[in-house]
Structure 1
Amino acid sequence: MAEVRRLPVPREGDWDWQMRAACRGKDTATFYHPENERGPSRVKREIRAKAVCAQCPVVENCLRWALAAREPYGVWGGLSVEEREALIARKPA
Protein backbone atom coordinates (compact mmCIF):
# COMPACT_ATOMS: atom_id res chain seq x y z
CA MET A 1 0.00 0.00 0.00
CA ALA A 2 1.21 3.49 -0.80
CA GLU A 3 2.41 5.71 2.03
CA VAL A 4 -0.04 8.63 1.79
CA ARG A 5 1.33 10.65 4.71
CA ARG A 6 4.21 11.90 2.59
CA LEU A 7 1.99 13.16 -0.25
CA PRO A 8 2.12 16.88 -0.96
CA VAL A 9 -0.82 18.78 0.47
CA PRO A 10 -3.35 19.41 -2.31
CA ARG A 11 -4.15 23.02 -3.12
CA GLU A 12 -6.80 24.43 -5.38
CA GLY A 13 -5.54 24.26 -8.94
CA ASP A 14 -2.91 21.55 -8.23
CA TRP A 15 -4.77 19.03 -10.35
CA ASP A 16 -5.97 21.33 -13.15
CA TRP A 17 -3.18 20.05 -15.39
CA GLN A 18 -4.76 16.59 -15.37
CA MET A 19 -7.71 17.89 -17.36
CA ARG A 20 -5.33 18.42 -20.30
CA ALA A 21 -3.36 15.18 -19.91
CA ALA A 22 -2.99 12.97 -22.98
CA CYS A 23 -3.73 9.90 -20.84
CA ARG A 24 -7.10 11.24 -19.69
CA GLY A 25 -9.74 8.68 -20.61
CA LYS A 26 -7.21 6.07 -21.73
CA ASP A 27 -7.13 2.55 -20.32
CA THR A 28 -5.13 2.67 -17.08
CA ALA A 29 -3.75 -0.81 -17.85
CA THR A 30 -1.41 0.93 -20.30
CA PHE A 31 0.22 2.86 -17.45
CA TYR A 32 0.09 0.37 -14.56
CA HIS A 33 1.45 -3.15 -14.81
CA PRO A 34 -0.63 -6.15 -13.81
CA GLU A 35 0.69 -8.34 -11.04
CA ASN A 36 3.67 -10.46 -12.07
CA GLU A 37 4.16 -8.70 -15.42
CA ARG A 38 7.80 -8.97 -16.41
CA GLY A 39 10.17 -8.99 -19.34
CA PRO A 40 9.06 -8.19 -22.89
CA SER A 41 5.40 -7.71 -21.90
CA ARG A 42 6.30 -5.03 -19.41
CA VAL A 43 8.72 -3.34 -21.79
CA LYS A 44 6.08 -3.22 -24.56
CA ARG A 45 3.43 -1.81 -22.23
CA GLU A 46 5.80 0.87 -20.92
CA ILE A 47 6.75 1.83 -24.48
CA ARG A 48 3.05 2.31 -25.29
CA ALA A 49 2.56 4.39 -22.13
CA LYS A 50 5.62 6.52 -22.82
CA ALA A 51 4.40 7.14 -26.39
CA VAL A 52 1.24 8.70 -24.90
CA CYS A 53 3.38 10.76 -22.53
CA ALA A 54 5.57 11.95 -25.39
CA GLN A 55 2.53 13.65 -26.93
CA CYS A 56 1.26 15.08 -23.64
CA PRO A 57 1.10 18.86 -23.16
CA VAL A 58 1.42 18.50 -19.37
CA VAL A 59 4.11 15.83 -19.08
CA GLU A 60 6.35 18.12 -16.99
CA ASN A 61 3.55 18.76 -14.47
CA CYS A 62 2.87 15.04 -14.30
CA LEU A 63 6.50 14.16 -13.66
CA ARG A 64 6.84 16.92 -11.08
CA TRP A 65 3.82 15.52 -9.22
CA ALA A 66 5.05 11.91 -9.43
CA LEU A 67 8.46 12.88 -8.06
CA ALA A 68 7.02 15.03 -5.25
CA ALA A 69 4.54 12.32 -4.26
CA ARG A 70 7.10 9.55 -4.79
CA GLU A 71 4.43 7.77 -6.81
CA PRO A 72 5.27 4.05 -6.35
CA TYR A 73 3.35 2.69 -9.35
CA GLY A 74 2.94 3.19 -13.07
CA VAL A 75 4.32 5.40 -15.80
CA TRP A 76 4.02 9.07 -14.81
CA GLY A 77 5.57 11.98 -16.64
CA GLY A 78 7.01 9.63 -19.24
CA LEU A 79 9.07 7.68 -16.71
CA SER A 80 8.70 4.25 -15.14
CA VAL A 81 8.91 3.67 -11.39
CA GLU A 82 12.54 2.61 -11.70
CA GLU A 83 13.45 5.67 -13.78
CA ARG A 84 11.78 8.01 -11.26
CA GLU A 85 13.54 6.28 -8.37
CA ALA A 86 16.88 6.73 -10.14
CA LEU A 87 16.14 10.46 -10.60
CA ILE A 88 15.25 10.84 -6.93
CA ALA A 89 18.40 8.97 -5.87
CA ARG A 90 20.58 11.34 -7.95
CA LYS A 91 19.07 14.53 -6.55
CA PRO A 92 20.84 16.08 -3.57
CA ALA A 93 18.77 15.89 -0.38
Structure 2
Amino acid sequence: MSTTIFKVVKSHAAPDTAGRTADWRDAALCRSDLYDADTWFPKGTDAASVDAEQEAVRICHRCPAMAACRDWAIETRQDHGVWGGLTAKDRADLRRHGRIPKKRTPIQAFASIQDAYEALTRKTGQHVIWTGGNEVRIGSVRMSPNQVAWRARRKTSPVGRVFTDCETDGCVRHLSDQAMRQAREATRKATTERSAA
Protein backbone atom coordinates (compact mmCIF):
# COMPACT_ATOMS: atom_id res chain seq x y z
CA MET A 1 0.00 0.00 0.00
CA SER A 2 1.30 3.37 -0.97
CA THR A 3 0.58 6.60 0.98
CA THR A 4 1.40 10.06 -0.30
CA ILE A 5 1.91 12.78 2.22
CA PHE A 6 1.63 16.35 1.03
CA LYS A 7 3.51 19.02 2.82
CA VAL A 8 1.84 22.42 2.90
CA VAL A 9 4.34 25.24 2.47
CA LYS A 10 3.25 28.67 3.68
CA SER A 11 4.77 31.84 2.41
CA HIS A 12 6.26 34.21 4.98
CA ALA A 13 5.81 37.30 2.83
CA ALA A 14 4.58 40.50 4.46
CA PRO A 15 0.85 41.13 4.07
CA ASP A 16 -0.22 43.44 1.28
CA THR A 17 -0.92 46.81 2.93
CA ALA A 18 -0.91 48.93 -0.21
CA GLY A 19 -4.71 49.01 -0.28
CA ARG A 20 -5.16 49.76 3.43
CA THR A 21 -6.93 52.93 4.48
CA ALA A 22 -4.67 55.66 5.82
CA ASP A 23 -4.99 56.42 9.53
CA TRP A 24 -3.28 58.41 12.28
CA ARG A 25 -0.21 56.16 12.27
CA ASP A 26 0.74 57.39 8.80
CA ALA A 27 1.26 60.93 10.15
CA ALA A 28 3.09 59.92 13.35
CA LEU A 29 6.56 61.40 13.87
CA CYS A 30 7.76 58.20 15.55
CA ARG A 31 7.55 56.42 12.18
CA SER A 32 10.08 58.83 10.71
CA ASP A 33 13.63 57.68 10.00
CA LEU A 34 14.80 60.66 12.07
CA TYR A 35 14.17 58.88 15.37
CA ASP A 36 15.32 55.61 16.89
CA ALA A 37 12.36 53.36 17.74
CA ASP A 38 13.93 52.57 21.13
CA THR A 39 13.31 56.19 22.15
CA TRP A 40 9.63 55.37 22.74
CA PHE A 41 10.40 52.17 24.66
CA PRO A 42 13.18 52.98 27.13
CA LYS A 43 14.38 50.09 29.24
CA GLY A 44 15.13 50.71 32.87
CA THR A 45 14.88 53.62 35.25
CA ASP A 46 18.41 55.00 34.98
CA ALA A 47 19.07 58.61 33.98
CA ALA A 48 19.60 57.74 30.30
CA SER A 49 16.25 55.92 30.13
CA VAL A 50 14.42 58.77 31.86
CA ASP A 51 16.04 61.25 29.45
CA ALA A 52 15.00 59.09 26.48
CA GLU A 53 11.45 58.91 27.79
CA GLN A 54 11.27 62.71 28.22
CA GLU A 55 12.68 63.21 24.72
CA ALA A 56 9.94 60.93 23.35
CA VAL A 57 7.30 62.98 25.20
CA ARG A 58 8.73 66.21 23.72
CA ILE A 59 8.64 64.73 20.20
CA CYS A 60 5.06 63.54 20.76
CA HIS A 61 3.96 67.08 21.64
CA ARG A 62 5.02 68.19 18.15
CA CYS A 63 3.30 65.24 16.45
CA PRO A 64 0.09 65.79 14.43
CA ALA A 65 -1.11 62.32 15.48
CA MET A 66 -0.65 62.87 19.24
CA ALA A 67 -4.33 62.91 20.28
CA ALA A 68 -5.31 59.88 18.20
CA CYS A 69 -2.23 57.97 19.39
CA ARG A 70 -2.96 58.81 23.05
CA ASP A 71 -6.61 57.77 22.73
CA TRP A 72 -5.65 54.51 21.02
CA ALA A 73 -3.04 53.69 23.68
CA ILE A 74 -5.54 54.30 26.49
CA GLU A 75 -8.37 52.39 24.80
CA THR A 76 -6.14 49.39 24.03
CA ARG A 77 -4.45 49.56 27.45
CA GLN A 78 -0.86 49.81 26.20
CA ASP A 79 1.26 49.09 29.27
CA HIS A 80 4.71 49.95 27.89
CA GLY A 81 6.31 52.86 26.12
CA VAL A 82 5.40 56.45 25.33
CA TRP A 83 2.22 56.88 23.30
CA GLY A 84 0.57 60.19 22.48
CA GLY A 85 2.82 62.13 24.84
CA LEU A 86 1.97 59.93 27.84
CA THR A 87 4.31 57.55 29.59
CA ALA A 88 3.12 54.13 30.80
CA LYS A 89 2.88 55.59 34.32
CA ASP A 90 0.83 58.57 33.05
CA ARG A 91 -1.64 56.24 31.34
CA ALA A 92 -1.88 53.98 34.41
CA ASP A 93 -2.58 57.02 36.62
CA LEU A 94 -5.28 58.21 34.22
CA ARG A 95 -6.97 54.81 34.21
CA ARG A 96 -6.68 54.45 37.99
CA HIS A 97 -8.15 57.86 38.74
CA GLY A 98 -10.70 57.81 35.93
CA ARG A 99 -9.35 60.93 34.27
CA ILE A 100 -9.10 59.80 30.69
CA PRO A 101 -8.54 62.86 28.48
CA LYS A 102 -11.61 63.77 26.47
CA LYS A 103 -11.37 63.87 22.72
CA ARG A 104 -10.93 67.45 21.63
CA THR A 105 -12.75 68.83 18.67
CA PRO A 106 -10.59 70.89 16.36
CA ILE A 107 -10.88 74.66 16.69
CA GLN A 108 -12.79 76.11 13.76
CA ALA A 109 -10.89 78.75 11.79
CA PHE A 110 -12.39 81.73 9.97
CA ALA A 111 -11.01 84.55 7.85
CA SER A 112 -12.90 87.24 9.76
CA ILE A 113 -14.90 87.82 12.93
CA GLN A 114 -18.01 88.51 10.85
CA ASP A 115 -17.61 85.18 9.01
CA ALA A 116 -17.41 83.31 12.32
CA TYR A 117 -20.41 85.17 13.75
CA GLU A 118 -22.58 84.52 10.70
CA ALA A 119 -21.58 80.85 10.44
CA LEU A 120 -21.92 79.95 14.13
CA THR A 121 -24.97 81.86 15.40
CA ARG A 122 -28.71 81.61 14.88
CA LYS A 123 -31.38 84.09 15.87
CA THR A 124 -34.10 82.76 18.18
CA GLY A 125 -36.64 85.39 19.20
CA GLN A 126 -34.81 88.02 21.26
CA HIS A 127 -31.68 85.89 21.54
CA VAL A 128 -28.74 85.03 19.32
CA ILE A 129 -27.54 81.50 20.10
CA TRP A 130 -23.94 80.39 19.56
CA THR A 131 -23.85 77.00 17.82
CA GLY A 132 -20.07 76.50 17.59
CA GLY A 133 -17.41 75.31 20.01
CA ASN A 134 -15.88 77.08 23.03
CA GLU A 135 -13.45 79.03 20.88
CA VAL A 136 -12.66 79.84 17.26
CA ARG A 137 -9.56 81.01 15.49
CA ILE A 138 -9.63 84.22 13.48
CA GLY A 139 -6.33 84.29 11.62
CA SER A 140 -3.88 83.30 14.34
CA VAL A 141 -5.95 84.66 17.26
CA ARG A 142 -8.18 82.45 19.40
CA MET A 143 -11.43 84.02 20.55
CA SER A 144 -14.34 82.99 22.75
CA PRO A 145 -17.93 83.12 21.44
CA ASN A 146 -18.58 86.20 23.58
CA GLN A 147 -15.55 88.02 22.12
CA VAL A 148 -16.59 87.16 18.56
CA ALA A 149 -20.20 88.28 19.13
CA TRP A 150 -19.15 91.51 20.87
CA ARG A 151 -16.81 92.53 18.08
CA ALA A 152 -19.15 91.43 15.28
CA ARG A 153 -22.15 93.33 16.66
CA ARG A 154 -20.47 96.43 18.12
CA LYS A 155 -17.51 96.73 15.72
CA THR A 156 -15.26 97.65 18.68
CA SER A 157 -13.01 95.81 21.08
CA PRO A 158 -14.42 95.11 24.55
CA VAL A 159 -12.91 96.51 27.73
CA GLY A 160 -11.78 93.54 29.83
CA ARG A 161 -13.68 90.25 29.81
CA VAL A 162 -17.04 89.85 28.13
CA PHE A 163 -19.81 88.12 30.11
CA THR A 164 -23.33 87.02 29.21
CA ASP A 165 -26.12 88.98 30.90
CA CYS A 166 -28.74 86.46 29.85
CA GLU A 167 -30.22 83.33 31.42
CA THR A 168 -30.64 81.64 28.01
CA ASP A 169 -27.97 79.01 27.36
CA GLY A 170 -25.62 79.98 24.56
CA CYS A 171 -26.99 83.49 24.08
CA VAL A 172 -24.36 85.88 22.74
CA ARG A 173 -26.65 88.85 22.16
CA HIS A 174 -26.96 90.09 25.74
CA LEU A 175 -23.35 90.78 26.69
CA SER A 176 -21.45 93.22 28.88
CA ASP A 177 -17.81 94.19 29.11
CA GLN A 178 -15.97 95.64 32.11
CA ALA A 179 -16.87 99.25 31.20
CA MET A 180 -20.59 98.42 31.08
CA ARG A 181 -20.45 96.56 34.37
CA GLN A 182 -18.63 99.45 36.07
CA ALA A 183 -21.16 101.97 34.71
CA ARG A 184 -24.03 99.82 36.01
CA GLU A 185 -22.37 99.57 39.43
CA ALA A 186 -21.85 103.35 39.56
CA THR A 187 -25.52 103.92 38.68
CA ARG A 188 -26.61 101.40 41.31
CA LYS A 189 -24.44 103.12 43.96
CA ALA A 190 -25.78 106.57 43.05
CA THR A 191 -29.38 105.31 43.25
CA THR A 192 -28.72 103.65 46.62
CA GLU A 193 -27.12 106.84 47.98
CA ARG A 194 -30.06 108.99 46.81
CA SER A 195 -32.52 106.56 48.39
CA ALA A 196 -30.63 106.62 51.69
CA ALA A 197 -30.47 110.43 51.84
Aligned residue pairs total 78
CA contact 2:74–2:91 (8 Å) conserved in 1: yes
TM-score normalised according to structure 1 size: 0.75
Amino acid at match of 1:65: W
Poorly superposed stretches of 4+, deviation over 4 Å: none
Q: CA RMSD in A?
A: 1.8
Unaligned runs of 5+ in 1: 1-11
- Give the structure 1 partner of residue 61 of structure 2: 54
Q: 2:75 aligns with which of 46, 68, 86?
A: 68
Describe how 1:1-93 pairs up with structure 2 within 5 A.
Answer: 16-25=23-32, 26-34=35-43, 37-91=44-98
Name whichever structure is richer in strand by fraction. Answer: 2
TM-score normalised according to structure 2 size: 0.37
**1:89, 1:38 → 2: CA distance?**
22
RCO greater where, 1 or 2, for CA within 8 Å and sep 6 or more?
Answer: 1
Unaligned runs of 5+ in 2: 1-19, 100-197
Name whichever structure is richer in helix by fraction. Answer: 1
- State the shift of 1:76 in Å: 0.3
Identity of aligned residues (%): 32
